[in-house]
């Protein structure tokens, strides 16, 4: 049978999602825990690979198994064998046509910025501390230039393995709640570091270092060297992955990260 899981994790102490030799990864910890419950080796496949330090609220994964366990047994059993910075939020049997990566029709990320003069003792691994004041209207005007289907080479990491830099951004919204700014980005798929590079450009425009039209100039340049800084990983969250209605995937609460 094929099983889908909804996973949340704090990425601070992981070298990203994907298995790597002699490093601590989310995939590695999850596969070890699921293998204990299944009593055989489990390979886990994810909707998307997150980088070192990046968090997830509802990463979706799937694996195949011959083991027969109740939904409660899978959920509690895997969680009992996971470290405290990873948790299975839900479990759901799916058909063999389901693939966590290729069946997905939309992915949603949120980037959080702490925008105040002083740093935070609590949020230093959960947000990007940006002490220069940011104008979210300027940031939104910059974001609006990036929505749609474009060549996003200027926002692509040099090590990106995607076959094409052409992507379609469905939505970018910028909101502020007191000293916290959230940038929400939706698309079917993303390039490596794409969201963090988008936020880096928007932040430079928000603090007045660059004009609003610079976002469009960077996009049209298709040159990563024109794009400025890459926002740090600790502010980035994989919020949700959307699938066709036939799968009726559970949703999770993002509180307090979402509002």
pLDDT tens digits along 38-92? 999 999 999 999 999 999 999 999 999 999 999 999 999 999 999 999 999 999 9
Whether residues 72 and 176 share a domain: the answer is no
Q: Is residue 229 part of a domain?
A: yes
Which range of residues forms the domain containing residue 183?
Answer: 106-238
Same domain? For 120 and 219 the reply is yes
Same domain, residue pair 122 and 229 = yes
217 in the same domain as 182: yes
The answer to whether residue 64 is catalytic is no
Nearest to 5 by CA among 69, 66, 78: 78
Please indicate, yes or no, whether residues 125 and 201 belong to a single structural domain of this protein.
yes
- For tokens 């940038």, the residue is 183
Percentage of the chain modeled with pLDDT above 70: 98
Q: Are 94 and 143 found together in one domain?
A: no
The verdict on residue 248 lying in a domain is: no
Q: 185 in helix, strand or coil?
A: strand
pTM attached to this predicted model: 0.95
Q: Which of 83, 103, 123 is the last residue of a domain?
A: 103
Q: In sequence order, what are the residues at sequence separation of 6 or more whose Cβ sits closer than 8 angstroms to the Cβ of residue 137?
A: none
CATH of the domain at 63: 3.30.70.580
- 119 in the same domain as 30: no
Count of domains for the chain: 2
Question: Do residues 154 and 193 lie in contact, with contact meaning Cβ atoms separated by under 8 Å?
Answer: no
Which of 49, 76, 103 is where one domain is finished?
103
Q: Is 109 annotated as a binding residue?
A: yes
Which stretches of 80-165 are assigned E, i.e. beta strand? 86-94, 106-114, 128-129, 148-151
Three-state DSSP state, 173: strand
Residue 180 has which token pair? 């916290």
Residue 114 lies in a domain: yes
**Closest C-alpha to 154, from 223, 210, 213, 214:** 223
CATH number for the domain harbouring residue 113: 3.30.70.660
CB 226 within 8 A of CB 190: no
Closest CA to 182 of 192, 172, 190: 172
Catalytic residue among 51, 151, 184, 207: 51
At 188, list the tokens: 């079917």
DSSP state of 224: G
Q: Are residues 111 and 93 in the same domain?
A: no
- What pLDDT is stored for residue 121 in this prediction? 94
User: Residue 259: pLDDT band by 50, 70, 90 thresholds?
Assistant: low
Are residues 122 and 173 both part of a single domain? yes
């Amino acid at each position: 049978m094929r099983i889908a899981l909804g996973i949340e994790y704090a990425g601070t102490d992981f070298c990203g999602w994907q298995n790597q030799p002699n490093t601590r990864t989310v995939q590695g910890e999850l596969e070890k825990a699921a293998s204990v419950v299944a009593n055989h080796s489990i390979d886990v496949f994810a909707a998307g690979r997150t980088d070192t330090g990046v968090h997830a609220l509802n990463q979706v994964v799937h694996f195949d198994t011959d083991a027969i366990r109740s939904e409660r047994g899978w959920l509690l059993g895997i969680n009992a064998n996971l470290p405290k910075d990873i948790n299975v939020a839900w479990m759901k049997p799916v058909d063999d046509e389901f693939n966590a990566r290729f069946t997905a029709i939309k992915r949603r990320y949120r980037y959080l910025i702490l925008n105040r003069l002083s740093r935070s003792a609590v949020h230093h691994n959960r947000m990007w501390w940006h002490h220069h004041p940011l104008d979210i209207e300027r940031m939104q005007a910059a974001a609006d230039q990036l929505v749609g289907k474009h060549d996003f080479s200027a926002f692509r990491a040099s090590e990106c393995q995607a076959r094409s830099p052409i992507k379609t951004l469905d939505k970018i919204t910028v909101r502020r709640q007191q000293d916290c700014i959230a940038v929400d980005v939706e698309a079917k798929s993303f390039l490596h570091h794409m969201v963090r590079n988008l936020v880096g450009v928007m932040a430079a425009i928000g603090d007045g270092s660059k004009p609003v039209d610079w976002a469009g100039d960077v996009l049209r340049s298709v040159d990563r060297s024109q794009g400025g800084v890459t926002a740090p990983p600790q502010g980035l969250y994989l919020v949700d992955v959307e699938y066709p209605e036939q799968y009726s995937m559970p949703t999770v609460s993002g509180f307090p990260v979402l509002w």
